[in-house]
């Protein structure tokens, strides 16, 4: 920790879309965090955006003595080696999603963090989106009764294949590796661990080399969850749907924070995170339609809680076991898609127990 024990010096590895759009502005908006170093191959872009930060290689950031918290936002297949190097250098670590490209790597990172006595967390920032917070609020209200079905879509309209690593064959590439971790984390955050998993994937765009359509089903004892992503949806239906014994709830419209951050709006500014699209509750008996305003989205909370975990010894809001759970589901979806069958959740009893201790409410 730096001379001022209330300041966490942050080193950001990667200044592509995730580093530039999400991590850098969110970190800089949190009192007690200081973005002091960036590992990037585009120093002129970093300097233009961030001013006088130190710029060096990714490997240097991971082990630099003047960094307390390392944030890994580089290409997916580099997450494990960079995060493990940072942990062994005595750093606390945040890893952008997907946490790793295999479940074995995820388990290894959690073990290294525990051995080193360091915090590790995965950047599932979308828990603090208006849509997810709205879904959680309506569930906690009890208005739906006993929930039987949850469905969430994360669709895009990108009909043309682009020249970028995410759309080339390789570890961690493809639509589901990009959006699947968000959708899976939302499901586990809201409903807990599933019993089994089935999935189907396709490459539907001309010239596509990776999956661009994904349909996943998570099976619980008395509930089913559908997670869907596609790059060929120009005007989609609802983002989230929940059906229960008393009512159904539907939410249209995506959270606005990503767009606002891309446009340069600073977190905390008037209107930041405001979602103009309310959720709609449909009463099962009367058919009455009630609009429920969406809560304010606030992804800044992720890094506020990371700060508190480091400075005050609190558990990170998204601890390493959450990353392992998401990777267990993610890896199983690909195996299910390849094999064409329903597969059990591959978490050990000790991993499930650790997850439950981290989420006593669920």
Instruction: Please tell me the predicted confidence (pLDDT) of residue 361.
Output: 72
pLDDT band for 1, please (50, 70, 90 cuts). low
pLDDT averaged over every residue in the chain: 95
**CB burial readout 203-231, b (16+ within 10 A) else e:** bebeebebbbbbbbbbebeebebbbbbbb
Which DSSP letter does residue 165 get?
G
Q: Where in the chain is the domain with CATH 3.30.360.10?
A: 127-298+330-357
pTM of the model: 0.94
Q: How far is CA 333 from the centre of its chain?
A: 17
Q: Where in the chain is the domain with CATH 3.40.50.720?
A: 8-123
CA distance 182 to 273: 18
CATH of domain 127-298+330-357: 3.30.360.10
What phi, psi does 248 have (nearest 5°)?
-125, 155
Instruction: Please tell me the predicted confidence (pLDDT) of residue 108.
Output: 98
pLDDT at 207 over 60: yes
Query: What strands, in cross-sheet order, belong to the sheet with 247-251?
Result: 289-292, 279-283, 247-251, 240-244, 147-155, 223-230, 213-220, 196-202, 343-344
CATH of domain 8-123: 3.40.50.720
Residues 218-255 have pLDDT tens digits of: 999 999 999 999 999 998 789 999 999 999 999 999 89
CA distance 246 to 287: 10
Q: Which of 113, 107, 12 is nearest to 62 (CA)?
A: 12
Instruction: Please tell me the predicted confidence (pLDDT) of residue 2.
Output: 45
Residues 83-130 have pLDDT tens digits of: 999 999 999 999 999 999 999 999 999 999 999 999 999 999 999 999
């Amino acid at each position: 920790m730096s001379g001022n024990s209330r300041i966490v010096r942050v080193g950001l590895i990667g200044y592509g879309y995730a580093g530039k759009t999400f991590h850098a502005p969110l970190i800089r908006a949190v009192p007690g965090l200081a973005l002091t170093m960036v590992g990037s191959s585009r120093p002129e872009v970093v300097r233009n955006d961030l001013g006088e930060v130190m710029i060096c290689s990714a490997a240097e950031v991971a082990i630099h003595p003047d960094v307390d918290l390392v944030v890994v936002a580089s290409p997916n297949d580099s997450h494990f080696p960079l995060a493990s190097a940072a942990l062994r250098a005595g750093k606390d670590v945040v890893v952008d999603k997907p946490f790793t490209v295999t479940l074995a790597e995820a388990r290894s990172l959690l073990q290294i963090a525990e051995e080193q006595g360091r915090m590790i967390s995965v950047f599932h920032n979308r828990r603090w989106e208006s849509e997810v917070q709205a879904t959680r609020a309506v569930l906690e209200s009890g208005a739906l009764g006993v929930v039987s079905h949850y469905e969430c879509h994360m669709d895009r309209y990108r009909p043309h294949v682009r020249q970028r690593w995410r759309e080339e064959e390789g570890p961690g590439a493809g639509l589901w590796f990009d959006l699947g971790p968000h959708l899976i984390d939302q499901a586990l955050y809201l409903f807990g661990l599933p019993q089994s998993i089935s999935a189907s994937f396709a490459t539907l765009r001309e010239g596509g080399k990776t999956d661009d359509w994904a349909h996943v089903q998570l099976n619980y004892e008395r509930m089913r969850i559908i997670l869907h992503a596609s790059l060929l949806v120009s005007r989609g239906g609802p983002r989230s749907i929940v059906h229960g014994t008393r009512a159904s709830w539907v939410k249209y419209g995506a959270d606005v924070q990503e767009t606002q951050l891309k446009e340069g709006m600073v977190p905390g500014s008037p209107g930041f995170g405001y979602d103009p699209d309310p959720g709609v509750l449909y009463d099962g008996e009367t058919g009455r339609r009630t609009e429920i305003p969406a809560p304010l989205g606030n992804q800044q909370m992720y890094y506020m809680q990371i700060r508190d975990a480091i400075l005050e010894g609190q558990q990170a809001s998204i601890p390493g076991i959450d990353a392992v759970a998401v990777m267990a589901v993610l890896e199983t979806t690909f195996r299910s898609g390849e094999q064409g069958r329903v597969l059990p959740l591959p978490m050990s009893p000790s991993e499930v127990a650790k997850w439950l201790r981290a989420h006593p409410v669920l």
